[in-house]
Chains A and B, each alone.
Chain A
Amino acid sequence: MNNLKLAWRNLWRNRRRTLITSASIFFAVFFALFMRSLQLGSYDHMYKNAIESYTGYIQVQHKDFWEEKIVDNTFPYDRQLEQRILADANVTATIPRFESFALASNGPQTKGVMVMGVDPEKEEHLSKVTDKMVKYKLSAASIELIKQDSNLPEKIKELAPLFENSTYTTASRLQLDLGISDKDAGQWMPAIEQYSRFDNGHIEMGEPGVWVGEKLSSYLKLGIGDTIVLISQGYHATTAAGKYEIKGIVKLPLPDIDNKIVYLPLDICQGLYNAEGNLTSLALAVKDNKDRAIAGTVERIGGLVSGEKRVMEWREMNDVMVSQMDADDKGGQIMLGILYLVIAFGIFGTVLMLTAERKREFGVLVAIGMQKKKLSSVITLEMLLIGMLGLLAGVIVATILILYGVNHPLIFKGEMALMFEEYGMEPQFAFWTIDIYYISQILIVLAMVLLAIVYPLRKIFTMKVVNALRA
């Protein structure tokens, strides 16, 4: 009878207890992995949104711009420097920008806005603004068309008015709000897409025209073809003022930026601020965005820039968000700690009962000739098997759900979506794929089990056989 066989048989002598203990480990592992995946996935999603919609991973800026974002802290667009930066192995494109603030108005409505002068073509390497253009809108007219379409089911007609004036960058999001399953999408969506289509125009270098954020456009009650007036302070305290036709509406995933962004062609923006040829930043698109690669690139680019310029990486530029995420991360880890503490007590309770119940049996085994070392290895195997049962089940179930979640993020709609947006977050739960956090969670559970084993092992090694036989 080998140790493993004996341990396995012992495991099932109190089936209910084994199952309860394994189940508690299963839930601990499952929730730990699932929640961690959700947490890391959400951070990654928010970081990506912030980086890809706004800052990029690396920027070259005027050395004082980050502390004082005024147009005087700009630097000349140096094409030679740009070429040297482009020669770096990790840099795939440079994206010149001119960023400032202005007061925007339409009739009686006024709002402070962020003005972003961009080269629309180059911006495709980083923020891909055209992907974020509003493509569908459930306007009153489009809802009316949906209602009149006799081929569409009543359910869609009832749901559509609830989302009046909602805008969408993809048809799948529109489909989700209207409660149309993937199976029915082929039948109903073409007509709905046609009724709700929203056509944007382009902005091009040298041609006045703007794209505005969807939330900003709603606030200022602006639509395509309307005019927005911008007024600000230009380079060296000159007056900056201009009026521009709205060419398109963009819907950025970060609501805080979406409600204040105005995109202008770079040269038009430079003209508005009387800072022709100057940039506030040269953002870099990178091949490898892992932390180590970014740090290396920052160091190399830092060696290329001199004098008035500095290189910043995404963490510095999104420091508030990074701090918030770090705080949230710590909170999550404390919750996990509490979860593990509860489970640890559960495991220890099982070990305590197991040891007390089998004291006499341990005595008998040692009396008839089983070495304490061998008995200890059987008990260790028993506990490891209980742990592994829960651990494996937890890992398998969590992995299935996480892998599904990675490809199918949880997207909230309706009131829930609004609530998320009020907190400045995209109404979406993304999952982080299987990664190093799996190992840490597995090691924690194993450590708990191993720690719990110390108790029966100590009891066995200090056991007096004659006393154990009297138990």
Chain B
Amino acid sequence: MKILEIKNVHKIYNSSEVKVHAVNGVSLDFEKGEFAAIVGPSGSGKTTLLNMIGGLDTPSDGEIIVDQTNLAGLKSSALIDFRMRNIGFVFQSYNLIPVLTAKENVEFIMSLQKWNKKERDDRTFELLKAVGLEDRINSRPSKLSGGQQQRVAVARALASKPKFVLADEPTANLDSKSTETLLDIMEQLNKEEGITFIFSTHDARVVKKARRVITLEDGKVISDERKN
């Protein structure tokens, strides 16, 4: 079952007189439950592609269809709402809300979706337990290590049961032990919840865990390998 279709997507930046073709005719499909990594050197267009998939940026040409919805057809507030319900984000520098506790960060999106308190509490506890932070639910981000913060970010991304999670270099700021723990958690959640994970990464450890590796170079897909 296709949950994401990328059809001949281009992204061109016009900075002064130089035209930069950041993404150049990328076409990809993603099935439910994939654990995929987009790799490539710096400037290859990984983050740009991820931003467009997440509806944070708009393609210059081409279409991105999430679960049969063309993102280009959504107006600004509808797109925000669509992201909230269908796409989870994990950022390189965690980007948790500093004034909220781990629990509050995770349940934040559920509050925006107006889940009732019991549903929120149950889901939050379930996710924080899954990422191994059930004993830190009342800690604010400043009291957590980088690895712990990124685990909270993963729990937050999964909170509203999105169609897929986009993780932009999620391990870039983590040490090897935290990276390993995080990847194990994400792999386990991918299997248990059936949620698709799409990473952009340089990290060989992420690539090793991924079941599909897409390589970008100069904005083009140069390989798309699936592992058994």
Contact = CB atoms under 8 A, between A and B. Distances in A.
> A and B: partners?
yes
B100 A1 contact: yes
B73 interface: no
Interface in B189-209: none
Contacts of B80: 366, 369-372
B137 to A, nearest CB: 14
B85 interface: yes
B91 A364 contact: yes
Contact of B98 (A13, A367, A373): A13
B56 A368 contact: no
Contacts of A12: 99
Interface in B79-113: 80-81, 83-85, 89, 91, 95, 97-100, 104, 107-109, 111-113
B51 interface: yes
A221 interface: no
B91 A469 contact: yes
B95 A364 contact: yes
Contact of B100 (A9, A360, A371): A9
A1 to B, nearest CB: 5
Contacts of B54: 367
A469 B95 CA distance: 9
A141 interface: no
> Looking at B89, B95, B113, which has the most chain A CB atoms within 10 Å of its CB?
B95
B48 to A, nearest CB: 9
A367 B156 CA distance: 13
B51 A466 contact: yes
A447 interface: no
A6 B104 CA distance: 10
A1 B51 contact: no
Contacts of B16: none
Interface string B99-138: 1100010011101110000000000000000000000000
A13 B140 CA distance: 12
Interface residues of B, number: 27
B77 interface: yes
B43 to A, nearest CB: 14
A333 B127 CA distance: 60
A361 interface: yes
Interface in A456-471: 465-466, 469
Interface in B142-158: 156
Contacts of A361: 95, 97-98
Contacts of A6: 99-100
B99 A10 contact: yes
Nearest to A370: B112
Nearest to A366: B80
A365 B98 CA distance: 12
Contact of A369 (B57, B81, B95, B100): B81
A8 to B, nearest CB: 9
Contact of A368 (B51, B76, B156): B156
Contacts of A373: 77
A1 B56 contact: no
A372 B56 contact: no
A369 B160 CA distance: 11
A368 B99 contact: no
Interface string B151-175: 0000010001000000000000000
A375 to B, nearest CB: 10
Nearest to B57: A466
A79 B107 CA distance: 87
A392 B104 CA distance: 30
Contacts of A466: 51, 56-57
Interface in B170-184: none
Top 6 A-B pairs, shortest CB-CB distance: A369-B84, A9-B99, A364-B95, A466-B57, A466-B56, A465-B56
27 contacts: A1-B107, A1-B108, A9-B99, A10-B99, A13-B98, A361-B98, A364-B89, A364-B91, A364-B95, A367-B54, A368-B84, A368-B89, A369-B84, A369-B85, A369-B112, A369-B113, A370-B84, A371-B77, A371-B80, A372-B80, A373-B77, A374-B112, A465-B56, A465-B57, A466-B56, A466-B57, A469-B51
Given A12-B99, A13-B98, A369-B80, 12 more contacts: A13-B99, A364-B91, A364-B97, A368-B83, A368-B109, A369-B84, A369-B109, A369-B112, A369-B160, A371-B81, A465-B56, A469-B51
